[in-house]
């Protein structure tokens, strides 16, 4: 063993090694969080939560939900079922500001949160004006480290930013939907255009979800290939980006079989499967399950769809399916608000379902390649 690896081992043992490589150590932590729920569905109780997606904190054993319409994050302690709202001054409750994407980095313990202007989503890309932000936040100290004004680089010419992935140097990659694009935000918060829009037509719907491949300096994105969300059947694909490249080059990941899906939304690699399984939200149908046995995502097995045929709370849509806790996978149910309560930015709901689809995922994983 060389001195470098001994050093790495010592740091890792102290829980300090910032970016471990290899799937066996990528969520490099000391103790597992306890399961917080019997297998089964749950209901979250928090006024105007309207969750778009969530992230599980493997160090503090809490979840963070993007409260879409409030433009805030809600920290959820599953053992006490208590929520703590994390507001962002000047953004939360501002008209048009949505909280739509989040990444929890288990190595640094930091959150990256994407706040977007809701206008592109309401107009299917016709109006891409409004402010968009990437916020770096330390949830342990409750401090905002920086916020990057994404519109200062796009000059309002394209938009629809809604998700983020990270590399091992602390750079963040924010994906845009109208049209597809990627902005790079450096460790210090400096923004550059990494994958520019390929068209000036902002109505061409592109990337909706991104997930980091920790340990590989890569990310996988969902591309809607121009099909608008109003189309009930999409033609989505997934692409892999090598994040060490000076500019973004999307490489299509072939799926076997090449089953049609979409319109796609978020993509998630549940830690329980060490980056060999991807869960993709298919807005109107449920969760697509893909597998890459070596975890490299150069190609993928398309294992199938877990339909969202759960009882409708207010409107059936699948924005995201994520792992919460040490092993269970949850479909985040509904996020349409209905009539807005006057003087607020959300509807009148306080109950939000989480559907436990762990068993269905396990069933699909029994498929032989």
Ligand X SMILES: *[C@@H]1O[C@H](CO)[C@@H](O)[C@H](O)[C@H]1NC(C)=O
Of 253, 216, 203, the C-alpha closest to 20 is 216
Cβ proximity to ligand X: between 261 and 330 the closer is 330
**Does the protein bind ligand X through residue 49 (CB under 6 A)?**
yes
Contacts with ligand X in 235-254 (CB under 6 A)?
A: none
Smallest distance, ligand X to C-beta of residue 166, A: 23
Strands across the sheet containing 286-291: 255-256, 300-307, 286-291, 277-282, 264-268
Q: What single-letter DSSP state applies at residue 5?
A: H
Alpha-carbon distance of 196 to 51, in angstroms, equals 29
Alpha-carbon distance of 147 to 222, in angstroms, equals 25
Give the residue, chosen from 33, 55, 62, 74, that forms a contact with ligand X under the rule CB under 6 A: 74
Cβ proximity to ligand X: between 211 and 289 the closer is 289
Q: What single-letter DSSP state applies at residue 272?
A: G
CB-CB contact of 116 with 128 (8 Å): no
Give the residue, chosen from 20, 53, 72, 171, that forms a contact with ligand X under the rule CB under 6 A: 72
Cβ proximity to ligand X: between 45 and 252 the closer is 45
Kindly list the distances between the CA atom of residue 232 and the CA atoms of 47, 119, 220, 261, in Å, as whole numbers in the listed order.
30, 21, 23, 10
Peptide bond into 34 cis (omega under 30): no
CB-CB contact of 317 with 335 (8 Å): yes
3-class SS at 160? Answer: strand
In this structure, what are the phi and psi dihedrals at residue 238, rounded to the nearest 5 degrees? -115, 145
Cβ proximity to ligand X: between 28 and 270 the closer is 270
Question: Of 28-36, 38-46, 219-227, 253-261, which part binds ligand X (CB under 6 A)?
Answer: 38-46
Contacts with ligand X in 178-217 (CB under 6 A)?
A: none
**Does the protein bind ligand X through residue 94 (CB under 6 A)?**
no
Give 308's contacts (C-beta < 8 A, 6+ positions apart). Answer: 285, 286, 287, 316, 318, 331, 355
Smallest distance, ligand X to C-beta of residue 154, A: 8
Contacts with ligand X in 326-365 (CB under 6 A)?
A: 341, 344, 346, 348, 355-356
Residue with tokens 């989503």: 121
Over the range 195-211, which residues count as b (16 or more CB within 10 Å of their CB) and which as e? bebeeeebebbbbbbbb
**Does the protein bind ligand X through residue 289 (CB under 6 A)?**
no
**Does the protein bind ligand X through residue 70 (CB under 6 A)?**
yes
**Does the protein bind ligand X through residue 18 (CB under 6 A)?**
no
Number of residues that bind ligand X (CB under 6 A): 24
**Side-chain half-sphere of 25: how many Cα atoms within 13 Å?**
14
3-class SS at 300? Answer: strand
**Does the protein bind ligand X through residue 46 (CB under 6 A)?**
yes
Smallest distance, ligand X to C-beta of residue 87, A: 7
Give the residue, chosen from 41, 84, 108, 235, that forms a contact with ligand X under the rule CB under 6 A: 41
CB-CB contact of 336 with 348 (8 Å): no
Question: Of 41-49, 116-124, 165-173, 183-191, which part binds ligand X (CB under 6 A)?
Answer: 41-49
Smallest distance, ligand X to C-beta of residue 237, A: 30
Cβ proximity to ligand X: between 50 and 297 the closer is 50
Question: Of 18-26, 149-157, 253-261, 317-325, which part binds ligand X (CB under 6 A)?
Answer: 149-157
CB-CB contact of 50 with 313 (8 Å): no
Assigned token pair, 12: 């890792």
**Pattern 122-141, ligand X, x by CB under 6 A:** ---------x----------
CB-CB contact of 81 with 69 (8 Å): no
Give the residue, chosen from 47, 137, 207, 239, that forms a contact with ligand X under the rule CB under 6 A: 47
**Does the protein bind ligand X through residue 88 (CB under 6 A)?**
no
Question: Of 19-27, 35-43, 180-188, 210-218, which part binds ligand X (CB under 6 A)?
Answer: 35-43
Give the residue, chosen from 11, 61, 85, 110, that forms a contact with ligand X under the rule CB under 6 A: 85
Cβ proximity to ligand X: between 25 and 41 the closer is 41
Residues found near ligand X in the complex (CB under 6 A): 39-41, 46-49, 67, 70, 72, 74, 85, 131, 149, 151-152, 310-311, 341, 344, 346, 348, 355-356
């Amino acid at each position: 063993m060389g001195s470098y690896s001994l050093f790495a081992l010592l740091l890792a043992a102290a829980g300090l090694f910032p970016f471990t490589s290899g799937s066996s150590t990528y969520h490099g932590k000391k103790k597992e969080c306890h399961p917080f729920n019997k297998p089964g569905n749950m209901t979250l109780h928090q006024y105007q939560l309207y969750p778009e997606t969530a992230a599980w904190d493997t160090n503090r054993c809490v979840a963070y939900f993007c409260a879409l319409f409030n433009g805030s994050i809600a920290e959820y302690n599953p053992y006490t079922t208590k929520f703590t709202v994390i507001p962002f001054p000047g953004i939360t409750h501002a008209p048009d500001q949505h909280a739509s994407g989040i990444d929890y980095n288990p190595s640094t313990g930091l959150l990256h949160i994407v706040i977007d202007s809701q206008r592109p989503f309401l107009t299917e890309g016709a109006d891409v004006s409004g402010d968009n932000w990437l916020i770096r936040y330390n949830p342990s100290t409750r401090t905002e480290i920086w916020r990057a004004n994404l519109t200062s680089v796009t000059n309002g010419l394209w938009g629809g930013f809604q998700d983020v992935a990270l590399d091992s140097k602390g750079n963040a990659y924010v994906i845009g939907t109208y049209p597809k694009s990627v902005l790079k935000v450096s460790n210090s918060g400096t923004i550059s255009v990494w994958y520019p829009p390929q068209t000036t037509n902002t109505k061409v719907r592109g990337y909706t979800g991104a997930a980091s491949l920790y340990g590989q300096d890569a990310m996988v994105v969902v591309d809607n290939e121009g099909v608008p969300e109003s189309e009930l059947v999409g033609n989505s694909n997934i692409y892999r980006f090598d994040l060490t490249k000076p500019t973004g080059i999307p490489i299509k990941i072939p799926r076997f079989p090449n089953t049609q899906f979409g319109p796609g939304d978020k993509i998630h690699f549940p830690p329980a499967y060490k980056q060999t399984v991807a869960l993709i939200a298919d807005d109107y149908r449920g969760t697509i399950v893909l597998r890459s046995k070596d975890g490299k995502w150069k190609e993928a097995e398309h294992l199938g769809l877990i339909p969202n045929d759960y009882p409708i709370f207010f409107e059936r849509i699948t924005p995201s399916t994520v792992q919460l806790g040490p092993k269970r996978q949850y479909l985040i149910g509904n996020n349409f608000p209905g009539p807005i309560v006057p003087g607020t930015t959300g509807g009148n709901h306080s109950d939000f379902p989480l559907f436990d689809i762990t068993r269905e995922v396990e069933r699909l994983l029994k498929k032989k390649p």
